[in-house]
Structure 1
Amino acid sequence: MTSIASITGQVTVLTGSYTPDTGGEGVGLTTLSLTPGDADAVGLRVTDTVAASGASYLAAHPTLPVAYTTHESTAGAVSAFGLREGAAPVPLGAPLTGGANPCHLTVHPSGDYLLTANYGTDTLPGTVAVHRLNGDGRLVDLTDVVEHKGSGPVVGRQEGTHAHQVLVDPAGRYILATDLGADTVFTYELDVTTGTLKPVAASQLRPGSGPRHLAFAPTGDLVLSADELSSTVTCHRYDAETGTLHELSRVPATAVADIPNQPGGIVTSDCGRYVWVTNRGADTVAAFRLTATDLEPLGEVPSGGNWPRGLASVPGGLVVANQHSGTVAVLGVSGDGSLGEAGVVVEVASVVCALVI
């Protein structure tokens, strides 16, 4: 069985947590130090904590030592933090609003804009917001907000739109936004002069699938979706000319039967041959081998806690954020993509996401 001895290279991991004002028990931001070693010497320890309300997702600037977090609440906001080696993250200005319940964000490859997916509420639609960044990575102003339209068949979850992720395709040409409520991936172009989004396409996925997050294969021709409502993982062909997705195949996200399950985080390997997905309900991380058109299950292991949500790749392993147990676990990854059970677990209350910095 793969062990955490496969972990190579010391890394710093930044995690985000729900806080008491957002229904959790966490502080907000927590930095962890992961140190490699043999199976008994791999270490994971908390180094710093910083208050940040409802820090439900994190993203890094492509060139600057700056990270960004959502503040997930009905009022909704995003903010920037400066990163210094060996020191706690430092707030860079006040948070800026942009939509209700922001749940995912990413920095445009230009480094000039922050893109945020706002889940919305039962009465407020899902949206994508754009904030301008200045030369040191600080948030300057809100340049655009686009509203999604649509719905799906799942009662209680799909009466309206719920944007859940926003990311840039590997070519840097299109912005893709998943919408769990509309079973749709919306495609945009960003005007890097004005900071405004132009709608380009809308890829309709299977009704009731509830696409949560996407992960591209390194080649850019395939994109995988973690489908929250149907508990599946779908392989799509990505048309880089039109920015559209076309389903090739799909598989169950977990082999655990008779347990309601919601896939959460999804990560592809650097080599492009493997995909890993967290399963909230089954409380596992599942591994898959990716072929030219299909996904082959490679098994799954316990996540090291309850309700695994966030997932991040580190050299030789994966870091898992287990929300309900308040634990961060490290899993080893073998050369064939299979996983070892959690060898290191530390407590971080209400943790939901992880970012390697």
Structure 2
Amino acid sequence: MATSYLLTGSYSSEQEPGIKLWEFEDGTGEMIELVGVPGIERPSFIAVHPNGTSFVATSEVGNGELVSYWIHPVSRKIMEINRQSSNGDHPAHVTIDETGRWLLSVTYSGATVNVHPLHSDGAIGELAHSVKHEGSGPNRERQDAAHPHSVIQMPGKNLFLVSDLGTDTISTYKMDSSNGELTFQYKVQTEPGAGPRHLCFHPTKPLVYSLNEINSTLMVYRISQEGQLEFLQLLPLLPDSYKEPNTSAEVAVSSNGRFVYASNRGHDSIASFAIQDNGTLENLGLTGSGGEGPRHFAVIPGNNWMVVANENSHTLAALKMGHSGAPCTVEQIVQTTAPVCVKVIK
């Protein structure tokens, strides 16, 4: 039976093993904890280096940090390499570019988009460049200021999309690969009060699927030759009959380019969609997330399993995919403190 390795981040204390390495058994969905790493507070998001030998985690606190680690899954070893300031409060997301030479991050409360060099040994260098977002949105509680929530590279291009929950915008930046400098290129405005959080790209087609946290919707964009986003479709992530509080969190596309998934916290579900030939989506329905507060999830290579980080129930749930492409049954559940990120080590 095939085995995969998973890394999870959490909203744990500095004394707890907030980062954990797991073995995932493809035949049964069993998750075995191999090693845990303490010494970092609230390691909420993880980016794995393209070579699979190191990763970076965000310490999502005020005056936060970016922390790099060396990893060797087979020998069950994780060792800290170094730390750098996140250049702002509450670093919420981090990305390593396709070359493995640059680390990009955003600070939710600091409203900064930052670039650090990554050295060949996995160490994070000094801050190379930073831009600061400004503005607000109509939701006074959630959109009092700019809140960049993610920075994600456009595949095959030196372009990065920043979803800003506070200003209802998705901004495109070009990075100079010689010095890490960011140059603003384009901006699209979502619906007022939508709160864009995360997005994902189709593996072969010029398509973007963008999740809005506050109003629980999903937007489909086509990418132009110049890298601009052209609106195609807006879909709800919840049934009209559901009136309780909900915030949507993560979105991902299957590696075969056939399905898109999104998580709902409150409704505690995974929404599934089939991708049509023109890139638009057909709703396949909702499946329980196997716990409470599904903040993040990962689709296991092969597209037979999904592992969901249910923050509020302190569980990881392994969901088996059905013939329709949607998760259909919860096969395994393991307890772990406030998991908020799941990454597959390639």
Q: TM above 0.5, one fold?
A: yes
Q: Distance in 1 between matches of 2:118 and 2:206?
A: 30
AA at the equivalent of 1:313: V
1:240 to partner: Cα distance:
4.1
1:221 to partner: Cα distance:
1.4
Q: Distance in 2 between matches of 1:192 and 1:89?
A: 29
- What residue is the counterpart of 1:140 in the other structure? 125
Q: Distance in 1 between matches of 2:235 and 2:280?
A: 9
Name the stretch that deviates more: 247-256 or 309-318. 247-256
- What residue is the counterpart of 1:349 in the other structure? 337
The structure 1 residue matched to 2:104, chosen from 75, 98, 115, is 115
- What residue is the counterpart of 1:102 in the other structure? 91
- The reply to whether residue 91 of structure 1 matches residue 80 of structure 2 is yes
TM-score (norm 1): 0.91
- What residue is the counterpart of 2:228 in the other structure? 244
- What residue is the counterpart of 1:45 in the other structure? 32
AA at the equivalent of 2:21: T
- What residue is the counterpart of 1:178 in the other structure? 163
Q: Which has the higher contact order (CA 8 A, sep 6+)?
A: 1
AA at the equivalent of 2:209: L
Name the stretch that deviates more: 176-185 or 200-209. 200-209
- What residue is the counterpart of 1:324 in the other structure? 312
- What residue is the counterpart of 1:12 in the other structure? 5
Q: Is the 8 A contact 1:26 1:351 kept in 2?
A: no
Q: Distance in 2 between matches of 1:42 and 1:351?
A: 17
Name the stretch that deviates more: 9-18 or 247-256. 247-256
> Within 5 Å, which residues of 2 pair with 1:335-346?
335-346=323-334
The alignment yields a C-alpha RMSD, in angstroms, of: 1.6
Helix, strand or coil: the match of 1:340? strand
Q: Is the 8 A contact 1:112 1:134 kept in 2?
A: yes
The structure 2 residue matched to 1:28, chosen from 3, 18, 23, is 18
Deviations 1:111-163 (A, max 9, x none): 1110001101xxx4x11111111111211111011101222111211121000
Q: Distance in 1 between matches of 2:215 and 2:3?
A: 37
- What residue is the counterpart of 1:3 in the other structure? none
Q: Is the 8 A contact 2:29 2:305 kept in 1?
A: no
Q: Is the 8 A contact 2:67 2:84 kept in 1?
A: yes
TM-score (norm 2): 0.94
Q: Distance in 1 between matches of 2:214 and 2:343?
A: 25
AA at the equivalent of 1:344: Q
1:293 to partner: Cα distance:
4.4
Q: Distance in 2 between matches of 1:78 and 1:128?
A: 13
CA gap of 1:92–1:62, structure 2 versus 1, over 3 A, is: same
- Tell me the matched-pair count: 339
Helix, strand or coil: the match of 2:128? strand
AA at the equivalent of 1:163: P
Helix, strand or coil: the match of 2:329? coil
> Within 5 Å, which residues of 2 pair with 1:57-76?
57-76=45-64
Structure 1 residue ranges without an equivalent (≥5) = 1-7
- What residue is the counterpart of 1:285 in the other structure? 270
- What residue is the counterpart of 2:183 in the other structure? 198
Q: Distance in 2 between matches of 1:26 and 1:261?
A: 29
Q: Is the 8 A contact 2:307 2:316 kept in 1?
A: yes
Q: Is the 8 A contact 1:109 1:172 kept in 2?
A: no
1:233 to partner: Cα distance:
1.0
Q: Distance in 1 between matches of 2:231 and 2:245?
A: 24
Q: Distance in 1 between matches of 2:139 and 2:279?
A: 28
Q: Distance in 1 between matches of 2:333 and 2:60?
A: 26
Name the stretch that deviates more: 312-321 or 249-258. 249-258
> Between the two proteins, what is the percent identity of the paired residues?
33
CA gap of 1:109–1:68, structure 2 versus 1, over 3 A, is: same
Helix, strand or coil: the match of 2:136? coil
Q: Is the 8 A contact 2:84 2:126 kept in 1?
A: no
AA at the equivalent of 1:211: P
1:27 to partner: Cα distance:
2.8
Structure 2 residue ranges without an equivalent (≥5) = none
Q: Distance in 2 between matches of 1:133 and 1:56?
A: 20
The structure 2 residue matched to 1:299, chosen from 285, 288, 291, is 285
AA at the equivalent of 1:164: H
